[in-house]
Each structure stands twice: as structure tokens, then as C-alpha cells.
Amino acid sequence: METLFRFVFRQLRQEINEVYNSELSTNEFMVLRMLVDSGRQRSTDLSKYLQVSASHITAVTDLLLSKGYIARKRSENDRRIIDIELTKEGQDIFNAIQEKKRAYFIERFEHFTDKEIETMNKLFHKIKESKK
């Protein structure tokens, strides 16, 4: 079971990374996802969310900034703080990748019945919750 589990997840991870990496790295996409979901963020919040170092977030946000997908803005409340926000270009690329990802999942799981997908979701949630 362990070998099969490892194989399936490695394969899925590689396939999903191919969807992301056509435009962005996985971490770049995850930064955009947090900005889409939560709005303006500080680098420290992004590093906690992704569970990576502050220097890694700086490198990722520098890349996103150079691509025009994010902007750095001084906080209106405290001028010492710099917030990171999504640009229209960032929203557009996020939406495009989300659509590619949706198409990937539809194609990847088209041979599953709705009941099988529902069961798989329940099992994954059970695994996730059992870690607590």
C-alpha cells in the first residue's frame, strides 16, 4: 500500500507541476492563490502560509514582481510595512492556470464515477483530519 500511495501521489504531483510550470512555479502560484483568496498580505504571512523561509518568499515575490503579477505597496497604517498585492495581470494568469488545472482534473478523473470521486474526497478528508 505504501509503494502504491507514494507512486500515485508522486505521479499526480508531477502532472500538476507541469500544469503550473507552464507559466509559474508551484510556489509562485501558491502566493498568487493566497493573494486572490485573502487580499493584500505581508511577506511574513506568505512565508507562514507556504511554510518557507522569509528569504525564499523574497525570491518568489521578486520573480512575481518582475513578471508584473504583484505589486509592493506601503501600508496605509504603518509606512514601514510593505504589503504585497495582486495586479490585474496576476489575477489574469491565476485565472488562466486555474482553468488549465480544472481541465487537467476533469481529464485525469473522467473515468471515475461521481460516487468514486465522492468516496475519494471523503477518504482524503479523513486522512487529513486524523493527523490532528
Task: List the CATH number of the domain containing 47.
Answer: 1.10.10.10
Instruction: Let me know if residue 45 belongs to a domain.
Output: yes
Parent domain of 64: 13-96
Taking the C-alpha atoms of residue 115 and residue 124, their distance in angstroms, rounded to an integer, is: 14
- Report residues of the chain scoring pLDDT below 70: 132
Chain segment 63-91, per-residue pLDDT in tens: 999 999 999 998 788 888 889 999 999 99
Instruction: Let me know if residue 132 belongs to a domain.
Output: no
SS3 45: helix
Q: What is the pTM of this model?
A: 0.79
Instruction: Let me know if residue 54 belongs to a domain.
Output: yes
Q: What is the pLDDT of residue 117?
A: 93
For the chain, what is the domain count? 1
